[in-house]
Amino acid sequence: MGIAFKGRFQNAKILDPKTGYEETTLTLETRWDPLTKRSVRVLDLPIKKLATMDIDEILKRAEDIPCPFCPDALDEVTPRFPNDFIEGGRLCFGEVCIIPNRLPFDRYCAVVVLTHQHYVPLVDFTEEQLFNGFSTACVFLRRLVEVDSSVRFFSINWNYLPMSGGSIIHPHLQIIGGDLPTHYQGEMIRGAREYRQQWEASFWDELIAKEKELGERYIGAVGNTVWLASYAPFGLGDTMAVFRERTSLLNLTDQDLRDFTQGLLKVFRYYQEFNYYSFNLSLYSGEYGGDDSFWVNARMLARRLLPPVGASDVSYFEKLHGEPIAYKRPERQCEEMRGYF
Ligand SMILES: [Zn+2]
């Protein structure tokens, strides 16, 4: 077993005016991710819930901007794929419609419009909506590798509401694919490969076993998916879902996707209860045609503006040092989330 949860505490001393300038010790913890060795800082602030936010005000600001994903507009203003790639130009199933993204984040970049409804509150998403969205995205990916054999790396992603970077309120996923992984995807793929070579075991299998044994960050299992609070978090509410023994998004069964969407709905309820409102989500695939050392996993983060002035939750740390900051220990988050699983 090569899983190591490495961390180091450091103290900072201040004279605190709140206690008549008595010396007070503040603590921070640096943690290293067990797979990628990336360092993060964990500040355990005594916050349970963040203050509520006026979501209606955010929705109102977007009201006058025409939405390209509402049913009337979609057909007229959104692009189409060439017919020899997707017959008819768009891949649709039920209310789900997959169209090309106008912004070329990768060689193949698609938008999955999830529903006809312009705004869906976090707790109003249904299993069917999410299942249809993710499963149609997987159908698209299977078609992608069929038409272009140079595509080796892909993922399905979601920015929900503007606080997460989402520029359109209407719920939509984003698919990216090409011959280059993203930085973190590449780190995970290499890390899992090296772990397999060094320990002759699957990193993911051993991570799940170790977390289950420790019980501190193991939130629960839904069918074939295991839900963990990330040891080295990227930010607020960082939650990871691992699909047991699935190396590629192309291998996921309908039941896997049902398990995943059921777990996701539980996280949504937790996020809503803790006033998180907005999130980023990525569902990562291993290298297509590569070995079996990678297991498909998803990672999601809550995103919101911080009280009292509505500051961004991303600062010089993330942007200029590549070092994420978490304000709550994952062990505390795990305790909070367990009741929802
Ligand atoms: Zn819309």
Q: What is the CATH number of the domain that holds 118?
A: 3.30.428.10
pLDDT value for 176:
98
Domain assignment present for residue 17? The answer is no
Q: Within a 13 Å sphere around the CA of 309, how many CA atoms are in the beta-carbon half?
A: 2
Taking the centre of ligand 1 as the mean of its atom positions, its distance from the CA of residue 70, in whole angstroms, is 4
Work out the pLDDT band at 203, boundaries 50, 70, 90: very high
CA of 242 to the centre of ligand 1 (A): 32
CA 174 / ligand 1 centre spacing (Å) = 16
Q: How far is the CA of 53 from the centre of ligand 1 (A)?
A: 22
Alpha carbon of 120 to ligand 1 centroid (Å): 10
User: Mean of the pLDDT values across residues 277-303?
Assistant: 97
> Do residues 1 and 199 touch, judged by C-beta distance below 8 A?
yes
Give the confidence band of 194 by pLDDT, cuts at 50, 70, 90: very high
Average of pLDDT values for 1-14? 96
Backbone angles phi, psi at 265, to 5 degrees: -65, -35
Give the single-character DSSP code of 163: G
* CA atoms of 23 and 33, how far apart (whole Å): 33
110 CA distance to ligand 1 centroid (A)? 17
Given a cut of 90, whether residue 77 has pLDDT beyond it is: yes
Higher-pLDDT residue of 15 and 53 is 15
DSSP, collapsed to helix, strand or coil, labels residue 339 as coil
Is 259 domain-assigned?
yes
- pLDDT computed for residue 338 by the predictor: 97
Query: What pLDDT is attached to residue 278?
Result: 97
178 found inside a domain? yes
317 pLDDT above the threshold of 90: yes
Whole-angstrom distance, CA of residue 254 vs CA of residue 113: 19
161 domain residue, yes or no: yes
236 found inside a domain: yes
Confidence band of 169 (pLDDT split at 50, 70, 90): very high
For ligand 1, the distance from its centroid to the CA atom of residue 176, given in whole angstroms, is 22
CB 282 within 8 A of CB 156: yes
* Cα 159 to ligand 1 centroid, rounded to whole Å: 15
pLDDT over threshold 90, residue 47: no
Does 34 reside within a domain?
no
Residues 6+ apart with CB under 8 A from 113: 69, 74, 96, 97, 98, 99, 170, 171, 172
d(C-alpha 306, C-alpha 327), whole Å: 12
**Domain limits for position 179:** 55-338
- The whole-chain average pLDDT of the chain stands at 97
Q: How far is the CA of 97 from the centre of ligand 1 (A)?
A: 13
State the pLDDT at residue 172.
98
Q: How far is the CA of 117 from the centre of ligand 1 (A)?
A: 7
pTM, rounded to two decimals: 0.97
> pLDDT band at residue 257, thresholds of 50, 70 and 90?
very high
Residue 13 lies in a domain: no
Name the percent of the chain in helix, strand, coil, to the closest 5. 30, 25, 40
Mean per-residue pLDDT, 304-332: 95
Q: By CB neighbour count within 10 A (0-12 exposed, 13-18 middle, 19+ buried), where does 190 fall?
A: middle
Q: CB-based contacts of 61: which residues, under 8 Å, 6+ apart? A: none
Which whole number is the average pLDDT over 251-271? 98
Distance CA 63, CA 57 (A): 10
Q: How far is the CA of 171 from the centre of ligand 1 (A)?
A: 8
pLDDT for position 48: 87
Is 266 a member of any domain? yes
- Residue holding tokens 């501190």? 216
Amino acid at 91: L
User: Residue 98 above 90 pLDDT?
Assistant: yes
Q: What angle do CA 166, 226, 332 make, to 5 degrees?
A: 75
What's the average model confidence in pLDDT over 138-153? 98
The count of structural domains within the chain is 1
Across 163-184, average pLDDT? 97
pLDDT the model gives residue 307 = 87
pLDDT, mean of residues 120-138: 98
